[in-house]
Amino acid sequence: MQVQSLACARTVSLAAATRTTPRAAGLDPATIRILTWNIHKQGDRGWEDDLQTFAADSDLLLLQETVLDGTLQQMIDTAGMRWVMASSFIYENIDTGVLTASRIEPVASCTQRIVEPLLRLPKSAVISWFPLRGEATTLAVVNVHAINFSLSLGAYRAQFDAVVDALSQHEGPIVFAGDLNTWTTNRIAVVDAAAHRLGLTEIAFTDDRRRLFFGHQLDHIYTRGLDVVTSSAITVTSSDHNPVMATLRLTR
């Protein structure tokens, strides 16, 4: 494990510089299995069994409210996945934040953090660029835990503006996902505006089992340059959020 600052301004240039020739190794562009899940700080019974199952069936695992304890690290290692985490805060010498685990090492990653105006608890995002096998482009993957409590939309909008800015030079496919805390129509409008700027489309679910708060879904997956093969939300008791899954393929 290596701890370092991963500023997006510096990392974006590195990611852009990797767009040269097709790669022999990388994620399979015909089948990219992704899951996003707010794991509720691993505080609910049964999370280990569920995470083990989800990790085995995923190429990209996006977790929010992740507590980086020894149990979680061991599970990810056992699943044969690499990971990068954007720490929001440290409590009793253990990081809590968003974590992206993957079967392929990213060519670059960067992290962002913003402080909630009311509770003063930071929320974070991690952006990673992954190689695609046989392709010159990279897949940008955004894992976000959005600001929850605020009296206005200023800080909430600023968090999404920062992500959009980090991806403004990326010309390839994008996955933008996480717990976006879209529990009002105004918050949904902020996310929709950010998605429009990046040319993203939200994945729909026929049998939508995502958890609701004030009548709105909080967990989302947006994409660009990718076709949706399958999508689903799974009911669990091991968190206060239900995980959201999708299988994607590069648009030809």
Pinpoint the alpha helices (H) of the chain.
8-17, 47-56, 70-78, 154-167, 185-198
**What is the structure's pLDDT at 90?**
75
Helices 70-78 and 47-56: crossing angle in degrees, nearest 10, is 30
**What is the structure's pLDDT at 138?**
93
Question: What is the spatial distance between Cα 108 and Cα 4, in angstroms, rounded to a whole number?
Answer: 13
45 burial (CB, 10 Å; 0-12 / 13-18 / 19+) is exposed
Nearest partner of 191 among 207, 210, 178, judged by Cα = 178
List pLDDT tens digits, range 211-249. Answer: 988 889 999 999 999 999 999 999 999 999 999 999 999
46 pLDDT more than 70: yes
Task: Tell me the mean pLDDT in the region 181-202.
Answer: 96
CB 129 within 8 A of CB 170: yes
CB 156 within 8 A of CB 146: yes
Architecture of domain 8-250 in CATH? 4-Layer Sandwich (3.60)
- State whether residue 1 is helix, strand or coil: coil
Q: C-alpha angle 47/52/57, rounded to 5°? A: 125
> Of residues 179 and 18, which shows the higher confidence score?
179
Band of residue 17 on the pLDDT scale cut at 50, 70, 90: low
Domain ranges of the chain: 8-250
Question: What is the spatial distance between Cα 51 and Cα 54, in angstroms, rounded to a whole number?
Answer: 5
